[in-house]
Amino acid sequence: MLRTGHSGAAYLEKAMNPTHSALAFVLALGATPALAQYGPSAPPPQVPVRPMTPATAEPTGSGYKPVISNQARKEIVELQTAVNAKDVANIPAKLAAAQAKAKTKDDKYVIARLQLKAALDANDNSAMAVAIEGLIASGAVPSGESVVLYNNLGKLNYNAKAYDKAGAAFERVLQIDPVNQDALIMLGETRNSQGRAADGVTMIQKAIAARRAAGGKPDEAWYKRAVALAYNANLPAAPALARDWASAYPSPKNWRDAIRIYQTSSKLPDDELLDSMRLAQAAGALTGENDYFRFANTLVSKGFPGEAKTVLDQGFAANTIKKSSPTFAQLYGVATVKSQGDRASLAASAKTALAGAAVRPVMVTADAYYGYGDYAEAASLYRAALTKSGADKNLANLRLGMALARSGDKAGATLALGAVGGAQAEVAKLWLAYLATKA
């Protein structure tokens, strides 16, 4: 119980009914923001702040026992009586009287705690924020409670769209605890609401790093939110963030989104995005008519009709696309005609290509083998291409890594993909991220 500076302690103790005088000193953290997937319609999240009432008047776990001054004792008791009785009509006057008589830090601290209880009873968020500010300003807050108070003050201000005040509160938390994940996430949301999306993404990335450093797995929602902020703000970090998300939470849907973000952000034409489409195929991330048509049509236009036919056959088998569709029937017909005799001729083509000095025939034949799913033969030819004069080593290593990945040689694929630079570096990173999720 609270202690006074003289023998009136017994009176004050009697006036405080433990059942009704409990102060909601700690506000539940509640759920972190509802985090939207990338896309233009992501709404700004709201943060629930729910009261949690302890069974005693003392701060949770602090052991702190304030000592009220004689000068303010009468007014504080009267305020307490009004708050416990939920005497809304008289609380403002009793609060003002107690504040006027407060002489010490403890006086101000106890008054602010009673003020907070009244605000919680009234479900008045604005008054809660004022009361928490009063607690902090009293200078008597136990050190163990400061982080909780500042975090909840930040959330209350965030929900009130007072973003500058919210940001200041979360920054104060991080001065005390630089890896406080709740504050990092909420400061990220606050910065985004202030029009500082890049700073918001940085804060969420710090929260992810902090969770990892502590030996935990970051929430998928954090990854998705970082991707959403970066993507909507056209930040260059969006593809890498999406890649990290799909790596941490691999699924066909997440890989499709990560690949599409890379493709959209790169602004490259489809014929230069073929290897990312091949990754989507490997990850089982081809979804719907658009994906299959775009991939197969690009393959046909690039001179890989056999691979296009294989892709379409997979889509038909999965019942994702219909062979009866005029569009797919026509494309399938073209791929079938153009690929006739192609597979049977590959052995002769490979022999001729390997005997020659030019690198292009070797790469073309290797690509054809890859398209037919003969990844071992494709890998052998890609290795041969790397020895030819004029070879694009980045492209050859990329395709070699892809073929080895599809054949199950994780170590070899990792080595080849890790050697890729230049224009193929980003898609190689996607393949490496996907490969890292495989056993």
Query: Tens of pLDDT along 322-351?
Result: 999 999 999 999 999 999 988 999 999 999
% of the chain beyond a pLDDT of 90:
83
CATH class of residue range 3-213: mainly alpha
| Helix, strand, coil abundance in the chain, percent, nearest 5 | 65, 0, 30
Output the average pLDDT for the chain: 87
CA pair distance 130, 166, nearest whole angstrom: 13
- Please count the residues of the chain: 439
Segments making up each domain of the chain, as ranges: 3-213
CA distance 244 to 36: 17
Average pLDDT over residues 108-128: 95
Q: Measured in Å, how far apart are the chain's first and last C-alpha atoms?
A: 59
Q: Are 146 and 109 in contact (CB under 8 A)?
A: no
User: What does the buried/exposed string (b/e) look like for 232-271 if buried means 16 or more CB atoms within 10 Å of the residue's CB?
Assistant: bbebebbbbbbbbbbbbbbeeebbbbbbbbbbebeeeeee
pLDDT digits (tens, 9 = 90+) for 186-213: 999 999 999 999 999 999 999 999 999 9
**Burial of 439: CB neighbours in 10 Å, binned 0-12, 13-18, 19+:** exposed
Inform me whether the pLDDT recorded for 4 exceeds 80.
no
> What's the average model confidence in pLDDT over 14-32?
28
> What tokens does 130 get?
């004022």
In this structure, is the dihedral angle defined by the CA atoms of residues 263, 362, 349 and 377, taken in order, positive or negative? negative
- Contact in structure between 10 and 74 (CB atoms under 8 Å): no
Tokens, residue 7: 């023998």
Q: For 250-293, how does the pLDDT look when each residue is reduced to its tens digit (9 = 90+)?
A: 999 999 999 999 999 999 999 899 999 999 999 999 999 999 99
Q: How high is the pLDDT of residue 62?
A: 52
Sign, CA dihedral 134-139-142-144, equals positive
pLDDT for the residue 46: 56
Strand partners, 68: 4
What pTM was computed for the model? 0.83
Beta bridge partners of 4: 68
HEC per residue, 91-134: HHHHHHHHHHHCCCHHHHHHHHHHHHHHHHHCCCHHHHHHHHHH
Q: How sure is the predictor about 142, in pLDDT bands with cuts at 50, 70 and 90?
A: confident
Using one digit for the tens of pLDDT, what is the confidence trace for 35-59?
Answer: 334 443 343 445 545 343 432 233 3
Predicted pLDDT of residue 63 = 58
Give yes or no for a contact between 332 and 311, defined as CB atoms under 8 angstroms apart.
Answer: no
Q: How far apart are CA 353 and CA 391, in angstroms?
A: 13
Contact 199, 191 (CB under 8 A): yes
The secondary structure of residue 321, as a DSSP letter, is: S
Please give the Cα distance from 348 to 31 (Å, whole number).
64
Percent of the chain residues topping a pLDDT of 70: 85
Mean pLDDT within 126-151: 93
Tokens of 141: 């807050």
pLDDT in tens, 145-160: 899 999 999 999 999 9
